[in-house]
Chains A and B, each alone.
Chain A
Amino acid sequence: MTNLTDINVPGPTTIPLTEPFWDAAAEGRFILQLCGGCQQHVFYPREICPHCWSGDLHWVPASGQGTLKSFTIVHRPGHPGWMAVTPYTVGLVALAEGPTMLSHILGDAPQVGQAVGFAPTNIGGRVLPCFRIITSQTTPKGDLA
């Protein structure tokens, strides 16, 4: 069975604005932009706040906690590089801070509404901000293999 670390898939197309988000995830930290104008969190990173158009956005540590808003178990991926690790789960994570983020979901038997936690995981040689389903037996932990 192929490990997520070993697949050859497209990584993030970063720009200077978004690099702090990816760099933090690679170091095991989850951060979001917070708007100084309206005090709402923003995802994905932007130059102005989509709620109030303030340019006063700054990076803050985020909880890494959320709930699974929806998910899909992918059998036929849109990119061939993912074929080796099928089936795998992609989900929408409603972050505790407000925004929704799409991510790779680790853990078995996902259900809509379940709690998930930040789980930095090596995909194709880069550590990305994935999420793991939290059950009573598990504490969220990354797979940094």
Chain B
Amino acid sequence: MSLARSKAAIVGVGELAPIRRTVGESTLGMLARCAALALTDSGLEKAEIDGLLVGPQVGETPQHVPATMAEYLGLMPTMSNVVDLGGASGLGMIWRAAAAIEAGMCEAVLCVIGNHRNSDAPRSPNRNPIREFDVPFGASGANVAYALLKQAHMAQYGSTDADFALIAHWARANAQLTPEAIFYGQPASVDEILASPMIAAPLHKFEIVMPVAGAEAVIVTSAKRAKDRGMTAVHLLGAGEKITHRAVSQAPDLTSGPLKPSMARAFAQSGTRVQDMSLLSLYDCYTVMVATTLEDSGICPPGGFGAFMRDHDFGPAGRYPMNSNGGQLGFGQPDLAGGMVHVVDAVHQLRGTATGRQIQGAELALVTGNGATMSEAVALVLGADV
């Protein structure tokens, strides 16, 4: 079933365990280790990799990123590019890889993204509108933007702090099934989440991801090659993308985002509905991002995420397993690779290799990525090789 509708096959994944700090690492080196894990996982030969998609590497390699990465890995790709969509970058790579293969530009694409967290990590030097018109008023960083989004949701719908805390609670609960997760061994109750320090009201500390070093790699090839070679595949069945703004002040809507049309397109392309999903692998930089994504997906009405969260079990055995590795709220956010964490977890679930947290009979997954201030969105529907 999946093969006929497949746009491309994911045949290998690699992941470096999240770590709070690194010493003396290079991002290039971490990405290379992660790429090697994905290649081994795929069973492909290095010489077969002829496409390369990478993320931005702030500070270390500001320009010529694909050439620098290709040279480091000893690759000479016939298609390469940077995908710069914040937390949606990893997902944006997957459909771009499929499109490049379909266009005849290459046959096997390495998609790799990650970052070190050395103490000397450079901050990005901005001189663009968000720097000129937001920062001078005390609005540096993403916390302020997502606090504004959460406050807007609470004001519009009467959603409560406890509703949002349930999202973080489930992330921590699922992280207990994932030994690599940064919050493994640290579950958190709703009360503990609400008692965590106020960062930017109404945002509490435990509603915000922990920044970590890490890397994620995915190898995409054609469904035909995957089948001919007898590879274990997960299929890309549908994708959608939308970019609406950069600064939160320019957002067309504070309680619904560009994931709404992105998910609609991914469902339409794949002929699926959100209710068909075995796994919801939803980008969760902040609790409010999950709340808005649930509502934008149509699984609950606008303003209805709190009741939906209270009514369901989001563990691997529940009706709607969500972020089964803990998501970024439980696993950690490896910088711009955050979106790819959700892809890699979905791939494990759909090929039955999610050891210790496997969803029985997992066939379909919705994966979402989000960048900047609910600005950059990519949604994917992935299917098992059945």
Contact = CB atoms under 8 A, between A and B. Distances in A.
A91 B138 CA distance: 10
A75 B135 CA distance: 16
A91 B202 CA distance: 13
Contacts of A102: 133-134, 137, 139, 247-249
20 contacts: A9-B136, A10-B131, A12-B132, A13-B132, A18-B132, A72-B203, A73-B198, A73-B201, A74-B138, A74-B143, A75-B199, A75-B200, A76-B199, A78-B143, A79-B138, A82-B138, A90-B144, A102-B139, A102-B247, A104-B138
A44 B132 contact: yes
Nearest to B199: A76
B151 interface: yes
Interface size class of B (residues with CB under 8 A): 35 or more
A74 B149 CA distance: 14
A123 interface: yes
Interface string A50-89: 0000000000000000000111111111110010010110
Contact of B133 (A44, A72, A111): A44
Given A70-B149, A72-B202, A102-B249, A79 B135 contact: yes
B129 interface: yes
Contacts of A85: 138
Task: List the 5 closest A-B pairs by CB distance, nearest first.
Answer: A78-B141, A78-B140, A72-B147, A112-B155, A73-B201
A145 B200 CA distance: 27
Interface of A: 9-14, 18, 44, 69-79, 82, 85, 87-88, 90-92, 100-104, 111-113, 123, 126, 128, 130
A122 B234 CA distance: 57
A105 B231 CA distance: 58
A30 to B, nearest CB: 14
B136 A76 contact: no
Given A90-B137, A102-B134, A72 B198 contact: no
B201 A75 contact: yes
Contacts of B152: 69-70, 112
A134 B127 CA distance: 33
Question: Which among A18, A75, A130 has the highest number of chain B CB atoms within 10 Å?
Answer: A75
A128 B139 CA distance: 14
B177 interface: no
Contacts of A12: 132-133, 136
A91 B254 CA distance: 13
Contact of B148 (A14, A70, A130): A70
B360 interface: no
A92 B148 contact: yes
Question: Which among A73, A87, A88, A111 has the highest number of chain B CB atoms within 10 Å?
Answer: A73
Contacts of A44: 129, 132-133
A92 B249 contact: yes
Contacts of A82: 138, 140
Contacts of B132: 12-14, 18, 44
Interface in B183-223: 197-203
Contact of B151 (A14, A72, A76, A88): A72
B138 A92 contact: no
B250 interface: yes
A79 B138 CA distance: 8
B135 A70 contact: no
A70 B144 contact: no
Contacts of A79: 135, 138, 140-141
Given A44-B129, A112-B151, A112-B155, A123 B136 contact: yes
Contacts of B131: 10, 13
Contacts of B254: 69-70, 92
